[in-house]
Structure 1
């Protein structure tokens, strides 16, 4: 890796690298860098209010000013200013942005590679700021939708194992997501694995009753109703 290349990791925790160096920053500096990475360029008042919502405006502005000064001193070139807005250098590679670009091509070849990328961990785990919670939920929904798209594409190409891999990755994000369950059952049926379809259905059905006191959607049951009838 080029010694001048900046890389910011927000998946599975905050990390900043330049070349081979692992750069350590205080929590305030981490939060500002993460906010700019996720929200994009923003005016100073917006950032102060977002990062210090419980502080008076003057205190929040002071906190922001001190944080900017610390980053500029320790990591010169990482922050830039444009038309009154603060932003990160264009030379910074951000893992979330790279994964979002990968999502845009989920129906192309190389679906299994994308499954591996999309199945990766949570966004900034252990961070509970309101703006972070919103971004975490958006990221969860985007990953889930992209994995479903990959699974549907693989199923249409007759790749039942790949379909199950993507669907199970989606289920790790949302364990009883109806469409992911449908895809698992359809993949088993595509392979002619009736025992696997019945076993998966009964497991999902049991969990749905235990956790929510409800039945699986009727169209999910409809997928294997003939097997249920035959199995008695």
Structure 2
């Protein structure tokens, strides 16, 4: 492990056993222990974790401290960099010219889940044995409780990815005849985006496959009422077709 030099110079280091948690309240652990960091350092690490190709110092300062003057924002960035390196006396940020990057040696929970989500969406893998753990990870919000503007787009990207992954997982489980897990994955997707129709259709299809006609009709009626109340529209013709011949006259 290479130690940081004196002052606030940021150097590349290997930080074995370091992990950054973003799919829960922010936490940085090093050598198995949680490290207490000032908010400025937390925001810096989280921002760089979400910018996998790194970012220019000026852009980082502007994004993290948008209400400050350029001079003040730059000073805040220098302070966060100094605070961030006090993790076992090493830094976890690489500096390449004017660009800052999170060290590739840092494990980030979001990366692991995102990779699994992409594999599920692409259909490259069969249904994973740990589908329930994956569904639980996909249900988690990115940095809950944080209100920074730079997070809005990142949260939207994460929400879209996890909804598609949960729907793909539910469809794969349904095709494999694993009906209860399929419904659970679909309901997790609905909790993330209750307006989106795909997961509701999967639940209806599973109910019909099991012969639970009444449950399928109730799901359809509940969703139809929800859409009418929220948006003043009805379900798609494809969804209505699923229960058309079973609806009470």
TM-score by length of 2: 0.85
SS in structure 2 of the partner of residue 104 of structure 1: helix
Q: Which residue of 2 aligns with 1:88?
A: 102
Residues 25-69 of structure 1, C-alpha deviations (whole Å, 9 max, x = no match): 111111000000111221211111111122221111111111111
Q: Is the 8 A contact 1:148 1:170 kept in 2?
A: yes
Q: 1:189 aligns with which of 187, 208, 220?
A: 208
Q: Which moved more, 1:50-59 or 1:25-34?
A: 50-59
> How many residues are treated as equivalent by the alignment?
227
Residues 85-121 of structure 1, C-alpha deviations (whole Å, 9 max, x = no match): 21222221101111101112224231444223212x2
Runs of 4+ in 1 over 3 A off after TM superposition: none
State whether structure 2 residue 157 is matched by structure 1 residue 138.
yes
Residues 201-224 of structure 1, C-alpha deviations (whole Å, 9 max, x = no match): 122122222233322222211110
Q: Which residue of 1 aligns with 2:65?
A: 52
Q: 2:117 aligns with which of 100, 103, 112?
A: 103
Q: 2:23 aligns with which of 11, 14, 18?
A: 11
Task: Give, in whole Å, the separation in 2 of the partners of 1:117 and 1:126.
Answer: 17
Q: CA deviation at 1:74?
A: 4.3
Q: Is the 8 A contact 2:94 2:101 kept in 1?
A: yes
Task: Give, in whole Å, the separation in 1 of the partners of 2:137 and 2:73.
Answer: 37
Task: Give, in whole Å, the separation in 2 of the partners of 1:63 and 1:173.
Answer: 35
Which sections of structure 2, spanning at least 5 residues, go unmatched? 1-14
Q: 2:136 aligns with which of 105, 116, 120?
A: 116
Higher relative helix content: 1
Greater RCO (Cα-Cα under 8 Å, separation 6 or more): 2
Task: Give, in whole Å, the separation in 2 of the partners of 1:180 and 1:147.
Answer: 8
Task: Give, in whole Å, the separation in 2 of the partners of 1:195 and 1:50.
Answer: 52
Q: 2:35 aligns with which of 18, 23, 40?
A: 23
TM-score by length of 1: 0.91
Q: 1:172 aligns with which of 191, 202, 219?
A: 191
Relative distance call for 1:117 and 1:25 in structure 2 (3 A) is same
Q: Is the 8 A contact 2:37 2:83 kept in 1?
A: no
State whether structure 2 residue 75 is matched by structure 1 residue 62.
yes
Residues 102-142 of structure 1, C-alpha deviations (whole Å, 9 max, x = no match): 112224231444223212x2111221222111111111111
Task: Give, in whole Å, the separation in 2 of the partners of 1:113 and 1:67.
Answer: 34
Residues 133-162 of structure 1, C-alpha deviations (whole Å, 9 max, x = no match): 111111111100111111122222232222
